[in-house]
Structure 1
Amino acid sequence: MPLTNTTRQYGGLTKTFHWLTALLILTALPLGLIAENAPYADGEQLARKAMLFSLHKTVGIAAFFTAILRILWALTQTRPGLLNADNRLEAFGAHLVHWLLYGAMLMVPLTGWIHHAATTGFAPILWPLGQDLPLVPKSETLAHLTANLHFAFIIVLGLSILAHVGGAMKHFVIDRDQTLQRMLPGRNTAPDPMPETHSRAPFVTALVIWVVALTAGVVTGLGTDKPATTAQLEAVPSDWQVQEGTLSLSVVQFGSEVTGSFGNWTAAISFDETATDGRHGDVAVTVAIDSLTLGSVTDQALGADFFDVAAHPTANFAADLMAAEQGYVAKGTLTLKGMTVPVTLPFALTIKGDTATMQGQTTLNRLDFGIGTNMPDESSLGFPVEIEVTLTAMRG
């Protein structure tokens, strides 16, 4: 069997690309569906769900690169003509489905890959080349958008596969011609194809369908941003008014670091450069838990097994600001998910005139607050949670 195509036969390499692509796509699709619906009530179930998603992503990327090679090879080859080119409607449908499949083979895994790169945490791609993509930022908005585009393009892919398989079965069962056999291994007895008048109509129609799918994905994607915070925090009186700041956290999940932040918090700060008995002042911080963004695991983190935002919408940190050997330390208690635990937060502070900049870090143990008790070991979720605070405040 020759490797290259002829006007009446597909070559061995074209057949290999065809069936390899089919195998990868028909593996990735059910893996994604099973992973999406898999439960995650405990650590074992979550680990299984993550592995299913990792396999889905890895197979999808393999399908993407296989599709690129297949398309590049097809550009160098003669395309065997249709055996039923005299049936214009069927010929139009065959060419339309092929254009849709070529687009789907690229766009479905690409949007999934961008979604993965735009978010953090949960189910890494099983390869050594990293989890990020050049020019793709970590962005909740981009992640939502590409997730919806991925779903819209999967619909096009699924319908195209059904049409493609249905057409092949019609040729085999009803027409009894050699259309299907031409793509099977070995030689076949296909006759010379009939003369065919090529038209741009299938390509243009495929473009229209892709534009519709793209529009649907964009419209639904832009409408799925994280809802506004429900725990409304009132302004608090403070000797130092926070102008800007971040309250971030990071934890290791399945061997990969997941980072996030709380977008809504207040701080009542009393601080004097001159210490009294080593004490410079105090701070009271209130955090709206539902303002958390934590990549692809945000919804899970807010659930009852973790932060349980429905029952515990806020966290509170109250501490004295003390001098330390290097810099300062906030020494007090953190009340989170109904549990109060002593916490020490070392921080560096620079004051210029009436402007203060602060940066501090500490490490918490999630189990101290009853977070993720359904994951009692670190194989799926690490115990340490790194907390980092940065802020700029004005006196008065």
Structure 2
Amino acid sequence: MNLKNPADRWGGVSQLLHWSIALLILTIGVVGLVMGELPRTPKYFWVYTAHKSLGITVLALVLLRIGWRLYAGAPRPLPGIPRWQAWLASATHGALYLLILAMPLSGWLYDSASGLRPFRWFGLVEVPRLAAPDEILASAAHDAHEWLFWLLVALVLAHAGAALHHHFIQRDATLARMLPRRLRAAPPREDSP
């Protein structure tokens, strides 16, 4: 497994960060959608704390991923990709990074401004407040958190759809470049059954 990003694909660290963040966001999203419906039992508070802890973890991982990308670079665009597609892919990646940063920050701000007692990241470390209790700020941060979530869902679906389009329709290596070697398969050929 190559750690740095070679010119033709994403390296092992980039792949690990990409798929770990994707899995965590999926988990947090599902939990976030159902946790409001949970009865107010001790499990309810455990689920909220887990949601917040995973969100802070994603924030740390995306900061690490941005730092790694600055250090390790990105693979060059595939030959034959139109300039507008390369630009759109770059803009989408930038927007994804911004949203993945904004989501946990808005949740953290909401939690802080709500006046709830500070939570402990996975029960280990107390997470400091970003703001003093403020009802208006809490409401705005909560609304932003929800809107950012749906915007992130739309952008992730577009991102995944584009990767699948490149793999199955364009039949290029766009998706394969983000997969570990053992999972890579050549795009299906037209003469395949």
Q: TM-score range by the shorter chain?
A: 0.7 to 0.9
Displacement after TM superposition at 1:184 (Å): 0.7
Q: Distance in 1 between matches of 2:54 and 2:153?
A: 17
> Cα RMSD between the aligned structures?
2.2
Q: Distance in 2 between matches of 1:133 and 1:145?
A: 16
Q: Which structure carries more strand by proportion?
A: 1
* 1:172 pairs with one of 150, 161, 167: 167
Q: Which structure carries more helix by proportion?
A: 2
Superposition pairs of residues 243-258 of structure 1, within 5 angstroms: none
Provide, for residues 124-171 of structure 1, a one-character-per-residue CA deviation record: whole Å limited to 9, x for no partner. 44333224325x111112111111111121122111100111011111
- Is 1:83 the counterpart of 2:78? The answer is yes
| Residue identity opposite 1:146 in structure 2 | A
Q: Distance in 1 between matches of 2:83 and 2:93?
A: 15
Helix, strand or coil at the partner of 1:178: coil
Alignment check: 8 A CA contact 1:101 1:161 kept: yes
Q: Distance in 1 between matches of 2:159 and 2:119?
A: 32
| Residue identity opposite 1:128 in structure 2 | L
Report the CA distance shift for 1:171/1:84 in structure 2 as closer, same or farther (over 3 A). Answer: farther
Q: Distance in 1 between matches of 2:91 and 2:73?
A: 18
Provide, for residues 291-341 of structure 1, a one-character-per-residue CA deviation record: whole Å limited to 9, x for no partner. xxxxxxxxxxxxxxxxxxxxxxxxxxxxxxxxxxxxxxxxxxxxxxxxxxx
TM-score where L is the length of structure 2: 0.85
In structure 2, the residue matched to 1:132 is 128
In structure 2, list runs of 5 or more residues that go unmatched: 187-193
Alignment check: 8 A CA contact 1:51 1:123 kept: no
In structure 2, the residue matched to 1:65 is 60
Q: Which has the higher contact order (CA 8 A, sep 6+)?
A: 2
Helix, strand or coil at the partner of 2:72: coil
In structure 2, the residue matched to 1:163 is 158
In structure 2, the residue matched to 1:56 is 51
Q: Distance in 2 between matches of 1:159 and 1:22?
A: 14
Displacement after TM superposition at 1:60 (Å): 0.8
| Residue identity opposite 2:126 in structure 1 | G
In structure 2, the residue matched to 1:226 is none
TM-score where L is the length of structure 1: 0.43
Report the CA distance shift for 1:48/1:172 in structure 2 as closer, same or farther (over 3 A). Answer: same
| Residue identity opposite 2:20 in structure 1 | L
Alignment check: 8 A CA contact 1:54 1:123 kept: no
* 2:147 pairs with one of 144, 149, 152: 152
| Residue identity opposite 1:127 in structure 2 | G
Q: Distance in 2 between matches of 1:32 and 1:55?
A: 10
| Residue identity opposite 1:26 in structure 2 | L
* 1:121 pairs with one of 97, 113, 116: 116
Number of aligned pairs? 184
In structure 1, the residue matched to 2:100 is 105
Q: Distance in 2 between matches of 1:51 and 1:123?
A: 14
Q: Which structure: larger Rg?
A: 1
Q: Distance in 2 between matches of 1:37 and 1:161?
A: 25
Provide, for residues 3-41 of structure 1, a one-character-per-residue CA deviation record: whole Å limited to 9, x for no partner. 101211211111111111111111111111010233x3x
In structure 1, list runs of 5 or more residues that go unmatched: 191-396
Report the CA distance shift for 1:18/1:61 in structure 2 as closer, same or farther (over 3 A). Answer: same
Superposition pairs of residues 223-234 of structure 1, within 5 angstroms: none
Displacement after TM superposition at 1:122 (Å): 7.6
